Structure 1
Amino acid sequence: MINISDSAFDKLKEMLNDQEIPDMFLRLGVQSGGCSGFSYAMGFDDEESEEDIFMNVKDMKVVVDKESLPLINGLEIDFEESGMSGGFTMNNPNASATCGCGSSFRTATDAGKPSAEGEC
């Protein structure tokens, strides 16, 4: 299950409405890399594959690939306005360590493994 705060939902809906391609949805996942081991992937897409899991979160279509789901199950996405900018924040209950900027994480099963080379 993925949780999206009201402020993040409002921002994502606004961004989805700006897309020129109909039937876009939110795609979430993880990629190897980042200073802590895994980096979050979040964007809009209009194509699904057999490896995807579909969720309906607050009437928003959210798709996660099967390999990423165990790493982000329970993820809470928030959006915070700060000054002239703002950004999405991820609160991942599966993360045992995160980098300083919050864009990458490591799970308990990855503890002791060397971090991937990269920057936050």
Structure 2
Amino acid sequence: METQTMTPDAPAVAESFINVTEAAAGKIRELLAEEGKTESGLRVFVQGGGCSGFQYGLMIEESGGVGDQLFESNGVRLFVDPVSISYLRGAEVDFVDTITGGGFTIKNPNATSTCGCGSSFSA
């Protein structure tokens, strides 16, 4: 089940905003437990950089900042800043484990192109 919760001064979001897959949620909970931060969440953001103009960022955070929107997907709290909101609507955070290692990926329907290595995008 997916729920959405916003900070008091955040605008309402009518549709599902960011989805976290079961695989990603499990890995995030594992990382939070390892750091003893089970009440924390994941900040998902977009910043300038990379060969296509924008790149994604993920980091563990205890609480959101001023203007952040708070979402929950598959039991994981997500913090998104006001600038990143427009770039991340409808995105999906996944965790992919391969023979060469694992990592988080973001599938973003707003990305008009991505670079060859997949680390940056344009919108």
Corresponding residue of 2:29? 13
Q: Is the 8 A contact 1:75 1:91 kept in 2?
A: yes
Question: 5+ unaligned residues in a row in structure 2: which ranges?
Answer: 1-16
User: Deviation at 1:10?
Assistant: 0.9
Q: What is the total number of aligned residue pairs between the two structures?
A: 107
- Aligned residue for 2:25, secondary structure, equals helix
Q: Assess, with a 3 A threshold, how the Cα gap between structure 1 residues 52 and 102 changes in structure 2: closer, same or farther.
A: same
Moved more, 16-25 or 82-91: 16-25
2:45 and 2:21 mapped to 1: Cα distance?
Answer: 18
Give 2:89's match in structure 1, choosing from 48, 73, 85: 73
Corresponding residue of 2:57? 41
Letter in 2 for 1:57: S
1:6 and 1:81 mapped to 2: Cα distance?
Answer: 13
- Per-residue displacement from partner, 1:61-114 (whole Å, max 9, x unpaired)? 11100110110111111111111411111110000011122221100xxxxxxx
Give 1:32's match in structure 2, choosing from 33, 37, 48: 48
RMSD, aligned CA: 1.3
The runs of at least 4 aligned residues of structure 1 exceeding 6 Å deviation read none
TM-score (norm: length of structure 1) = 0.82
Question: 5+ unaligned residues in a row in structure 1: which ranges?
Answer: 108-120
Corresponding residue of 1:2? 18
- Aligned residue for 1:17, secondary structure, equals helix
